[in-house]
Amino acid sequence: MKLRPVSDYLVLKGGASETTTAAGIIIPDTASKEKPEQGEVLAAGPGRMLESGTRQTVEVQVGATVIFKKYAPDEVEVDGETYLLIRESDVMAIVSE
């Protein structure tokens, strides 16, 4: 099954957030109860409809890594995979190399 977002929604794959302590112990993201704040865009909707009847296209491109508000995403599970759904307005930055 494929997810095709509507309006200005984005489908993200949450980034694994492993952390290493000062002693060198690696703490995987599964040990933390915190939600991810970064993810890769897998799909983007066509954009939101404005009152004028025109569509404002989405700025974020598929494949981009974004940083978003901590409690913004909704988690959905499709075919055993967990995805994040988020509005484009909750994206705070696009990560570039």
Condensed to tens digits (0 to 9), the pLDDT of residues 59-93 reads 999 999 999 988 888 888 888 888 999 999 999 99
Report yes or no on 3 lying in a domain.
no
Other residues' Cβ atoms within 10 Å of the Cβ of residue 91? 22
Angle at CA 8, nearest 5°, toward 33 and 55?
Answer: 170
Q: Which of 18-22, 28-32, 71-75 has the lowest mean pLDDT?
A: 28-32
pLDDT at 2: 82
Of the pLDDT bands very low, low, confident and very high (cuts 50, 70, 90), residue 21 is low
Give percent above pLDDT 90 in the chain.
Answer: 46
DSSP state of 7: T
Tally of domains in the chain? 1
Q: What is the CATH number of the domain that holds 60?
A: 2.30.33.40
Query: Can you give the residue range of the structural domain that contains 86?
Result: 9-95
